[in-house]
Amino acid sequence: MTTAAHSHSGHAHEGPSWSEHVLARFEREGFRAGGARAAVVELLAEQDCCLSAQEIFDRLRGGGRSVGIASIYRVLDQLFQLQLVQRVDVGGGVARFEAAHPGGDHHHHLLCNGCGRVVAFEDAALEAELDRVAERLGARVAGHELVLHGACADCSRG
């Protein structure tokens, strides 16, 4: 279930590509090269929204690449430690991951309880408000995660 889809519009391919950026970072950080890591990074790079470990596993298998599920979790953890991916938790006990772009160009998610889709959205004013809240709390907020629950535009129109 949860056929991940998105309502993104923009996101052109610019700059030194996320996967190159990531692989370079790994090398700089002293990691060795490895096929599993490259495969996961490459796959994540071509998504524009979150995937679960199992989804990554299935897609790599489908694409001929045989990567152990343990390696996938390992790579995801490494990426997360280096803040190169964002962990997205839409409930159901499964963690999802998506590329964290350096430009801070991040989005949030609406989980539709009608069709089960995950709809991504961005909102600059919301981000500004969140910054303001962080300041008011006196906390050094490194990141945030927001999930809206409800009926997406399609489902609420029907």
Partner DNA sequence: GCAATAATGGGAACGGTTTTCATTACCGAT
Partner DNA sequence: ATCGGTAATGAAAACCGTTCCCATTATTGC
Out of 29, 77, 89, 105, name the contact with a copy of itself by CB under 8 A. 89
Out of 22, 23, 44, 53, name the contact with DNA by CB under 7 A. 53
Residue 119's DSSP bridge partners are 110
- Burial class of residue 156, CB neighbours in 10 A (0-12, 13-18, 19+): exposed
Return the number of the residue (7 or 74) whose C-beta is nearest DNA: 74
Q: Name the binder of 120 from a copy of itself, DNA, Zn ion, none, CB < 5-8 A by kind.
A: Zn ion
Out of 10, 93, 103, 104, name the contact with a copy of itself by CB under 8 A. 93
Considering only CA atoms, give the Rg of the chain. 17
Nearest approach in angstroms of CB 44 to a copy of itself is 19
String of b and e for 3-30 (b: at least 16 CB within 10 Å)? Answer: ebebeeeeeeeeeeebbebbbeebeeee
Count of residues binding a copy of itself (CB under 8 A)? 39
Task: Tell whether residue 28 is a contact of DNA (CB under 7 A).
Answer: no
